[in-house]
Amino acid sequence: MTAMTCEIVRPGPEHLAGYVDALRRGWSPDNVRGAAAAREELAAIAEDAAGFLGRMHDPEARGGPIKAPDGTLMPRLPGYRRWIWDGEFAGSIGFRWTADGGPLPPHVLGHIGYAVPPWKQGLGYATLALAAVLDDARARGLAFVELTTDPDNPASQRVIEKNGGRLVERFAKPAIYGGAESLRWRIDLGPA
C-alpha cells in the first residue's frame, strides 16, 4: 500500500464520531492498557464529550493524574494527543515532556506514543505523524525524544528508524507495566 494524504489534527467535535467508531471496533490508543483504556475513553466521551476533547490538549499538565496499568495514579506531564485524519479517523499520537525539558520520570516510558487501527496500517501514517510531532519537539527546545517498542513490533521500530531513531537499550519495563522486555529508542533533534 502507498501512503495516502493525511493530516495531524487537534481532536475536535467534527472528528469524534470516527474516534468513537474506532474504539467500538476494538482499537485502543493505549498500546499498554489496550481494551481497558478504550472502555474508559468511551465512558468519558459518553459522560462529557467536550471535556474529553478538552483534555486532549494539556501543555500545562492541569489535568488529573494518569492511571498506570496496575491502577497506580501518577502525576501528569505536560502533553497532548493529536489524531491522524485522512478524511476519517486513522490513528492517534501523543507527545509528553517535562516542564523543564529534562529527563522523563522513570514511570514514563517515552515522550511519544502512537497507535494506528489495523484497517489504516501500512499506509505510512505513523511515520508522517511522528515526523510532525518531532517538529513540535524541536520547537519546544528538546534535544532528543525517547520512544519504546516491544521487541516483537518491527512495524513500530521501522517508523522510528525512518524518523532517524536509533536503538539505545533493551530494558525491563517498570513493575507497574508488568516488567516485560522493551526496547528504548532515541531520536536526536538538533536545533529547531
At 192 the pLDDT is 54
CB 38 within 8 A of CB 79: no
Rounded to two decimals, the pTM is 0.91
Q: For the chain, report the end-to-end CA distance as a whole number of angstroms.
A: 32
- Which ranges of the chain does DSSP label H, i.e. alpha helix? 13-24, 34-47, 49-54, 125-139, 154-162
Instruction: Look up cell 485524519; give the residue.
Output: 85
Report the pLDDT value the prediction gives residue 58, as an integer from 0 to 100: 95
Q: Which residues contact 33 (CB under 8 A, 6 or more apart)?
A: 69
pLDDT of residue 34: 84
pLDDT score of 63: 86
Dihedrals φ, ψ of 171, to 5°? -150, 165
Check: CB of residue 107 under 8 Å from CB of residue 32: no
Which domains does the chain possess? 7-188 (3.40.630.30)
What angle (nearest 5°) sits at the alpha carbon of residue 157, between those of residues 151 and 160? Answer: 145
Alpha-carbon dihedral angle through residues 29, 41, 73, 185, given to the nearest 10 degrees: 10
Q: How far apart are CA 58 and CA 66, in angstroms?
A: 12
How many Å apart are CA 101 and CA 104, to the nearest integer? 9
* Tens-level pLDDT at each residue, the chain (192 residues): 444 689 999 999 999 999 999 999 999 998 877 898 899 999 999 999 999 999 999 999 998 888 777 778 888 999 999 999 999 999 999 999 998 888 899 888 899 999 999 999 999 999 999 999 999 999 999 999 999 999 999 999 999 999 999 999 999 888 877 788 999 999 999 865
pLDDT at residue 191, as a whole number: 67
Q: 42 — phi, psi (to 5°)?
A: -60, -40
Q: Tell me, what's the pLDDT at 106?
A: 83
Determine the pLDDT at residue 30: 87
